[in-house]
Amino acid sequence: EGSTLADFLGFPRVPQLGLGLAALGRPGYINLGRDGDIATADARPVEVMRARAHEVLDAAHAAGVRYFDCARSYGRSEEFLSAWLTDRGLTRDDLAVGSKWGYRYVADWRVDTGGEPHEVKDHSLVHFLSQKVESLEFLGDHIRLYQIHSATFASGVLENHEVLDALVKMREETGVRLGLSLSGVEQGETLRKAIATGVFDSVQATWNLLEQSAGPALEEASKAGMQVIVKEAMANGRVLRHPALIVVASDLGVPADALALAAAMAQPFRAVVLSGAVTTAQLESNMQSLAVAEMLKSTENCAAALQRLLAEMRMDPEAYWKERSQMSWN
């Protein structure tokens, strides 16, 4: 059982753990320890990653996960998810799907791109219109949420009225909800600007025990009626190396990964928190976060332990994002 939301994107009773496909849709990603989780970088052809994605999707759905998150730029994530939905005969009444537009995947199924980027950002109207067609071709009416991928002040997308109008038109024509994802030190300020547009139904942001700076703005968004999705709740594996988390998890008798995810679930903005699992064992461990979140919300000593972690683990956002930018694709 554990933590559930009564309504998420119009879907009833959604557990607070979702599955993100950033690390399953392509051979390379920045998560720590990827070789041990999947296979060495040279042994991840499309069919291997497709089979692994379907295996983890099956396990997640069987365990009760009902929100699945992908993006145009996560390699073949939309394609893998689409094939799985078709193979399993699942409809939009069975689960909720979100995807994103705004980045093009250009790594050509390589892990080592020789210093070239893996994805290229483009928040223009032309790019939105082309990626919208591609997403709908794969996922059709399964898509309940379509998000701007990594909206920032620098990309100018929140001031681009052509794009905002086209998004609203998509919502009117298809019934999808509109969201944006955030990253970087300006997450909070960017979100406040997004709230002010009145366009968005949902926000997806990085929040974890190391990077808590978006918390107040996420609370504002939640109060304004937006759904909140949390990504990178384990900071691509970095939180799991923190001694404070390891000690508290041991004291509470819970897995460190479940505690990190539960810490995000226990925040007042009531988020669906994405698992980035790439193995069924990781997913099973992540699933324990739903029960741990209930402990953090309802038991005095657990709530106190969470407050200690929040105080001890918080990093300066500039330092956090600088460190993240230096993580290598593997």
How many other C-beta atoms are found inside a 10 Å radius of the C-beta of residue 206? 25
Bridge partners of residue 179, in order along the sequence:
147, 202
Long-range Cβ pairs for the range 300-303 (8 Å, 24+): 302/252
Report how far Cα 110 is from the mean position of its chain's Cα atoms.
22
Q: What is the pLDDT of residues 119-145, one digit of tens each?
A: 899 999 999 999 999 999 999 999 999
In angstroms, rounded to a whole number, what is the distance separating the alpha carbons of residues 92 and 72? 19
What band does 108 get if pLDDT is binned at 50, 70 and 90?
A: confident
Crossing angle for the helix pair 280-287 and 289-298, nearest 10 degrees? 20
DSSP percent split of the chain into helix, strand, coil, nearest 5 = 50, 15, 35
List, in order, residues 6 or more apart from 253 with CB less than 8 Å away.
none
Q: Which pLDDT value is given to residue 329?
A: 72
Report which of 254, 198, 205, 269 is spatially closest to residue 233, judged by C-alpha positions.
205
Q: Are strands 17-20 and 11-15 parallel, antiparallel or unpaired?
A: unpaired
Taking residues 27-41, what's their average pLDDT?
77
List, in order, residues 6 or more apart from 198 with CB less than 8 Å away.
none
Q: What is the pLDDT of residues 76-85, one digit of tens each?
A: 999 999 999 9
Q: Which pLDDT value is given to residue 1?
A: 53
Q: Which pLDDT value is given to residue 106?
A: 82
Taking residues 286-290, what's their average pLDDT?
98
Torsion angles phi and psi, residue 19, rounded to 5? -120, 125
Q: Which pLDDT value is given to residue 45?
A: 84
What is the percentage of the chain residues whose pLDDT exceeds 70? Answer: 99
pLDDT > 60? residue 30: yes
What band does 267 get if pLDDT is binned at 50, 70 and 90?
A: very high
Q: What is the DSSP letter of 140?
A: G
State the average pLDDT for the chain: 95
Taking residues 269-298, what's their average pLDDT?
97
In angstroms, rounded to a whole number, what is the distance separating the alpha carbons of residues 181 and 189? 13
Q: Are strands 143-148 and 227-231 parallel, antiparallel or unpaired?
A: unpaired
Q: What is the DSSP letter of 240?
A: G
Q: What is the pLDDT of residues 7-28, one digit of tens each?
A: 999 999 999 999 999 999 998 8
Q: Which pLDDT value is given to residue 33?
A: 76
In angstroms, rounded to a whole number, what is the distance separating the alpha carbons of residues 75 and 90? 22
Q: What is the pLDDT of residues 178-236, one digit of tens each?
A: 999 999 999 999 999 999 999 999 999 999 999 999 999 999 999 999 999 999 999 99
Phi-psi region of 212 (alpha: psi -120 to 50; beta: other; left: phi over 0): alpha
How many other C-beta atoms are found inside a 10 Å radius of the C-beta of residue 275? 24
